Amino acid sequence: MFWSNVFETAMLLCFAAAWPASIYKSWVSRTRKGKSLAFMVIVLIGYMAGITKVLVSHSAIYMLIPYTVNTTLVACDLVLYYRNYRIDEGLPHIFGEH
């Protein structure tokens, strides 16, 4: 079980390393083009399933850390997707962004 968690954590850390690049692209491009809402939602559901697995199994509670970090990063990218959707559609900014 220990090695299983080690490799699962390594996988999650690799994914976590990729999300900041995606978030940066979303931030600077100011468009949702090239992004897949369905992909991000599916990944978010997967991370939430991982969190649920940890909570239900009552073991390796430290695994909540990488799952929570990744869930937060995907959520940030989803917020930016919504912001960029509004920009693409010419809708008014929500928070007075210029």
pLDDT tens per residue across span 15-73: 999 999 999 999 999 999 999 999 999 999 999 999 999 999 988 898 999 999 999 99
Burial (CB count <10 Å: 0-12, 13-18, 19+), residue 58: exposed
- Residue with the larger pLDDT of the pair 2 and 11: 11
Q: How confident is the model at residue 96 (pLDDT cuts 50, 70, 90)?
A: low
Distance CA 51, CA 59 (A): 12
Q: Domains of the chain: which residue ranges?
A: 35-90
Amino acid at 34: G
Output the pTM of the full model: 0.85
Distance CA 6, CA 40 (A): 25
Contact partners, residue 50, CB within 8 Å, separation at least 6: 12, 63, 67
